[in-house]
Amino acid sequence: MPERGGFWQILTGRIEPGESPLQAAAREVSEETGFSGELRELGYVHSFALGDKLPPLFAQETVFALRVRGEPRLSVEHVEQRWCTAEEAEQLLPFAGLRRAARMVLTSVLPA
């Protein structure tokens, strides 16, 4: 969706008032894909500037992993999804922080 960025990315979202990053991640995963389960924090947080205004406004992202099976039920925020390898994700994702997060998730060992 061009008005939402028009590029590939991993699931992201905003923290609602009173939520922890873990609670926000669980909510966003459920809302955007229909998946649920036990999220695992991977110990990676990165920040980036939004837009080009001064002083800059920064966003911070915390990376979580979740093992899922089946196909997602996409929300209206997305037009398509793709399961891919870490190498494919690195080719598709436009930002270094997203690429690093995807590699961490795809190479982490999650309980079956």
pLDDT in tens, 29-84: 999 999 999 999 998 888 888 888 889 889 888 999 998 989 999 898 888 899 98
pTM given for the model: 0.81
Q: How many residues does the chain have?
A: 112
Judge contact between 64 and 42, C-beta under 8 A.
yes
- Confidence (pLDDT) at 19: 96
Q: Could you tell me the CATH superfamily of domain 2-107?
A: Nucleoside Triphosphate Pyrophosphohydrolase (3.90.79.10)
Judge contact between 41 and 63, C-beta under 8 A.
yes
**Residue 28: pLDDT above 90?**
yes
